[in-house]
Structure 1
């Protein structure tokens, strides 16, 4: 399992609209092959700052399976216009700590 982490800075005054669009967009990502789960966290100290955490079976499931899919175009249409600047997305693997529970 890998963890995708995206720091999202939403344009001022667009938080509620972003959260509503994300409620729709999460149905897209959760239907993808290799998807294991996600969380969207809103920062308490920085207005408009969010952290998206997505668990994937592999980097390829995210980079190829999702990002090169037709469904990704719908994801982009729903969400990408909210970001300024465009987010950095990185992938992480667990090297210490408890493993996520399955099943």
Structure 2
């Protein structure tokens, strides 16, 4: 299982608009092969910053499957114009899973 982590810095004042757009975009990612689930949380100290956590079955389900799909172009069109600066995305594996990958 892979956990995608992205801090989404939304342009201040556009939070409500972003949340509405995200609600519409959510089914786009949820319908992709390898998608498990996601959460979107809003920062209490910096209310224009959101934490997106997406669970994927495999890294390539996100990096190749989703990002290489026509649906990703829809996702980009609906959400990417809200970010300033553009977010960085990182992927994590549970420590036990990493050890299994290295030894197995």
Alignment partner of 1:47: what SS? coil
Q: 1:14 maps to what in 2? A: 14
Unaligned stretches of 5+ residues in structure 2: 97-104
Write the distance in 2 (CA, Å) between the matches of 1:93 and 1:44: 26
Write the distance in 2 (CA, Å) between the matches of 1:41 and 1:90: 17
Alignment partner of 2:46: what SS? coil
Structure having the higher helix fraction is 2
Q: CA RMSD for the aligned pairs? A: 0.7
Matches for 1:23-62 after TM superposition, within 5 Å? 23-62=23-62
Write the distance in 2 (CA, Å) between the matches of 1:84 and 1:39: 21
Alignment partner of 2:38: what SS? strand
Q: 1:74 maps to what in 2? A: 74
Alignment partner of 2:95: what SS? coil
Moved over 6 A (4+): none
Q: Normalising by structure 1, what TM-score?
A: 0.91
Write the distance in 1 (CA, Å) between the matches of 2:47 and 2:84: 13
Q: Normalising by structure 2, what TM-score?
A: 0.91
Alignment partner of 2:50: what SS? strand
Cα deviation, residue 47, structure 1: 2.2
